[in-house]
A and B are shown apart, each in its own frame.
Chain A
Amino acid sequence: MRRLLCDLADVPDGHVKAIQLEGLPELAVANVEGAFHVFEALCSHGASSLAEGRLLGCEVECVLHKGRFDVTTGKATRRPAKKPIAVYPSVVEDGQLFLESDIPAEAVSAAGR
């Protein structure tokens, strides 16, 4: 079953929004020039939500230590962040963003934690 994340209008271009769904870690949605990317919000480096960070191109920057991640792949792109964050597949339908019904186990574990 797909799960509703948000209305597309809730996440303007260049912004990040926090989403909490039951049974899942806090998620974040980033709008990169009209493309929406869903990822685990908790920074892989420190106890800080990436949903509070700024988006620079396709990279989200953590407010705590300024580490960065590519939201399209989850890869850490700037120190001190080193481990990746999990990214989740999503689909757009009728102006809304949904988490894919089946989140592959490897996607969830991609954070390596």
Chain B
Amino acid sequence: MTDLDDRTLEALDAEFAAAPDPHRWIKKYPELGTGPISTDRFISEEFFERERKEVFAKSWLNVGSRHDFTGPNSFFVRDIKLLGVSLLVVQDENGKVQAFHNVCSHRGNKLIWEKDGACPKLFACRFHGWGYAHDGELKEVPDEEVFHFDKKDWGLVPVRTEVWNGFVFVNLDDDGTEDLHEYLGPLGEKLKDFPFDILSLFARFDVPERANWKVALDAQNEIYHVPMLAPLHRFLAGGAFSSNDEGYTRIHDFERLGRHSVYKSDSDDDFEETATGKVNSGVSPSFSELKLPLDVPFAFHVIFPNMVLAFFGNQLFTYNIWPEAVNQTTWEIRLHYPAATNLAEWALNEQAKNRFRDLLCEDQAGHEALQVGLESRARDSFVLGDQEIQIRAFHKNLDEQMERAENA
């Protein structure tokens, strides 16, 4: 048994070995269908507006994690360009996290311009010096006697905020009633005891891309491309992305988890560790041992709508794929590793980071090329294979969310 799945590893392996069915996953989830996906979803301004209004404005969105705070009693600022909001996310001295609209109540100025830092005594506006406490309460108004109000009515505007396993989520729908626990559903349950606390944020990359946000997500949401895309992908393929005799990748498992989902992948039986990998495990065998309770080396969760939480050996990587315009996206990447306790371990983390970064550069070039092709409207739809099942699941979830919101 593992923390990630109720079935035994033996049962999973037997299922995998016994079912080389090329249409395996659609048979498990026939509701996902086998039809083509429209090009319009990636290039239509109208569709993009529906996503903004019915999905992003009404979903729980991950805006960072406890690692983004510089310590207790600190803050970070998160601008969500798509929704036209800036958030001031504050962690108090007791670890309680609350997000506010980063807007001074006086004249609407953006309150805090720094990206993060220790909480000042008061969050003070640069315009006229209004000051707010860490709980959002308006404390200081210069020349207060000239105003006609009760200060307690003019604190910072809070945003619904919850923390799950150290990940900070906000929901900008004031009318929403679903809490984060309900929203995460079975995915939240599966990972609730996962030892995230042994991992530290090691690196973050914010990658601007001229592509629709779903192009970036879809491209990452399958491993069919891994043996084909580019040299580093091919080179590392066997370590976590098992393939059949023809060299075509086969996912190990796929599950819909409410509006979220996960696919997993195993290593190839004949995978030979790379020369670098052998050197690395020799440098610090105990550090290189698998520390996370994973049944297979790769598990890629999509937390609807735009967060990816993926395990890759001892590494946790997260993506927050932020739409900014129909063809402009910021792909926010965070790499979390077990904390290094000496220079050799730090060097191993640094090496892993650089290798992964170079791998993702290969992906990024692909994302932008996809957008060019889609915008050409050469085809009004395109096709997905059974190994791309999680892409189908994601688009189904997207449609269902928009329908729910529009019918509400």
Q: How many A-B residue contacts, CB cutoff 8 Å?
A: 34
Q: Are B248 and A80 in contact (CB under 8 A)?
A: yes
- For B237, the chain A residues whose CB sits under 8 A away are 79
- From DSSP, what is the main secondary structure of chain A's interface residues? loop
With A65-B228, A66-B234 as known contacts, state yes or no: A79 contacts B245, CB within 8 Å. no
A-B contact pairs, 28 of them (CB 8 A): A45-B247, A65-B227, A65-B228, A66-B234, A67-B234, A67-B247, A76-B247, A78-B234, A79-B226, A79-B227, A79-B228, A79-B234, A79-B237, A79-B238, A79-B243, A79-B247, A80-B228, A80-B234, A80-B246, A80-B247, A80-B248, A82-B243, A82-B245, A82-B246, A82-B247, A83-B245, A83-B246, A83-B247
Nearest CB of chain B from residue A69's CB, rounded to whole Å:
12
Q: Hey, what's the 0/1 contact readout for B220-252 against A, CB within 8 Å counting as 1? A: 000000111000001101100001011110000
- For A80, the chain B residues whose CB sits under 8 A away are 227-228, 234, 243, 246-248
- From DSSP, what is the main secondary structure of chain B's interface residues? loop
Q: Which 10 A-B pairs have the closest CB atoms?
A: A80-B247, A79-B227, A80-B227, A82-B247, A79-B237, A79-B234, A78-B234, A45-B247, A79-B247, A81-B247
- For A45, the chain B residues whose CB sits under 8 A away are 246-247
- For A83, the chain B residues whose CB sits under 8 A away are 245-247
Q: How far is the CA of A78 from the CA of B226 in the complex (A)?
A: 12
Q: How far is the CA of A65 from the CA of B243 in the complex (A)?
A: 15
- For A65, the chain B residues whose CB sits under 8 A away are 227-228
Nearest CB of chain A from residue B54's CB, rounded to whole Å:
40
Q: How far is the CA of A66 from the CA of B247 in the complex (A)?
A: 12
Q: Hey, what's the 0/1 contact readout for B287-327 against A, CB within 8 Å counting as 1? A: 00000000000000000000000000000000000000000
- For B246, the chain A residues whose CB sits under 8 A away are 45, 80, 82-83
Partner of B235, one of A67, A76, A78, A82: A78
